[in-house]
Amino acid sequence: MSGVAMGADPVVPRTRVLRRLDALLQGVSRLLMVACMLALVGAALVLSYSVFARHVLKLATDWQDEAAVFLLVGATFVSAAHVQHLRGHIGIEAITTLLSPRVNRIRRWFVDIATFAFCAFFAWKSWTLFWEAYVDGQTSSSTWSPPLAIPYGLMAGGMTLLTVQLLLQIAIGACEMGPRADDGQPSNRKGGTHV
């Protein structure tokens, strides 16, 4: 995969307020990443127990699959903001090497705005699903029947955090739109790596 960028590193905010907001959001995201890592380990343990209980002990299992899905859904959505901060989501980098750093910043800013609009709508709809499930006392259709407010709440909280992260990146991008000393050189990144 020679010549393919492995994700753009986050741009350091120029203003003190944005730096503080970025640091606060990253502190929250890092804490949540620990919870997400534990959730992934928990899902692996639950699924391993399920296989052992079904095939070795010949026990019926009714809660393991749903518990693992809830843990995976939570880990996926709650970790999305941290992944976005690192710009680690899948992106097509085919034309970025052809663009000047200034045009690339503008392109990334417009992509952040479009992504923000989608994620804000998704977060809003997730909160309506959560509230509906909570008020109506909706549960899954399994014999275990856990409340559906749990995965919907994790999804809504994760998407809200992702939306806040995108809003912060839009504000940082707006501050970066002015001319910079490095416009003729590669963009200002914190130790970006190419593989």
pLDDT digits (tens, 9 = 90+) for 23-79: 899 999 999 999 999 999 999 999 999 999 888 888 877 888 899 999 999 999 999
DSSP 182: T
pLDDT in tens, 137-194: 999 988 888 999 999 999 999 999 999 999 999 998 888 776 554 544 444 444 444 3
- Is residue 151 within 8 Å of residue 70, measured between CB atoms? yes
CA–CA gap between residue 7 and residue 79 (Å, rounded): 16
pLDDT (average), residues 131-135: 97
List the Cα angle 78/81/85 in 5-degree steps: 150
Q: How far is CA 93 from CA 87, 107, 109, in A?
A: 12, 12, 15
What does the pLDDT read at residue 180?
Answer: 56
Reduced to 3 states, what is the DSSP secondary structure of residue 8? coil
